[in-house]
Amino acid sequence: MGRLTPAELEEIGRTDSVMAEIPEILYLLDRPNILDASQAAETLKVTPTPIDLVLEEMAVER
């Protein structure tokens, strides 16, 4: 199974409203996504929960 071309995605989108949105968000796959919460943390005076703590809590809940 390979990657669909933009033309193939558009064709699928003609019959599926969810798939019709995919070509519009393909730019997200062009480069790495960088998540930076520093501005929100500064503005809201909050700190992000360390990922290790989040993963630990999730593992215990399962």
* pLDDT tens-digit series, residues 2-61: 888 888 988 999 999 998 998 888 888 888 888 888 999 999 999 889 999 999 999 986
Domain count, the chain: 1
5 vs 11: CA distance, rounded Å: 10
The pLDDT score that the predictor gives to residue 32 is 87
Does the pLDDT at position 62 exceed 70? no
Residue 23 lies in a domain: yes
Confidence (pTM)? 0.43
Q: DSSP assignment, residue 17?
A: T
Whether 16 is in a domain gets the answer: yes
Answer yes or no: is 42 within a domain: yes
Task: Note down the domain range covering 16.
Answer: 6-61
Say if 24 falls within a structural domain. yes
pLDDT of residue 56: 93
Domain presence at residue 53: yes
Residue 45 domain-assigned (yes or no): yes
Residue at 1 is within a domain:
no
**CA dist., res. 49 & res. 56, Å (int):** 11
Q: How far is the C-alpha of 14 from the C-alpha of 20, rounded, in Å?
A: 7
In a domain, 31, yes or no: yes
Give one word for 5, left, alpha or beta, with left for phi > 0 and alpha for psi -120 to 50.
beta
